[in-house]
Amino acid sequence: MWKKIYNLIDEPDEIEITQKASISSGTEGLSQIPALFGSEDWWKLVGTDLLPLRIIQGIVSDLYLSGHLDYPQFEVDDGSQKTQWDIYGGDSNYVLGTKVRIKYVLMDFKNNDPVLKGEKCECVISVEIDT
How buried is 1 (Cβ within 10 angstroms: 0-12 exposed, 13-18 middle, 19+ buried)?
A: exposed
User: Rounded to whole angstroms, how far apart are CA atoms 46 and 51?
Assistant: 5
DSSP conformation class of 111: T
Query: Quick check: is 69 in a domain?
Result: yes
**Per the domain annotation, does 17 fall within a domain?**
yes
Considering the domain boundaries, does residue 26 fall inside one? no
For the chain, the domain total comes to 1
Please write the tens of the pLDDT for every residue from 72-90: 999 999 999 999 999 998 8
Is residue 107 assigned to a domain?
yes
Give me the CATH number covering residue 10: 2.40.50
In a domain, 45, yes or no: yes
Number of neighbouring beta carbons within 10 Å of residue 107:
20
- 99-108 and 120-130 strand pairing: antiparallel
Q: Is residue 81 part of a domain?
A: yes
Does 98 fall in a domain?
A: yes
Give the domain range for residue 54. 2-21+31-130
86-120 pLDDT tens trace:
999 888 999 999 999 999 999 999 876 667 777 89
Q: Model-level pTM?
A: 0.92
Assigned domain for 111 exists: yes
CA distance 76 to 96: 10
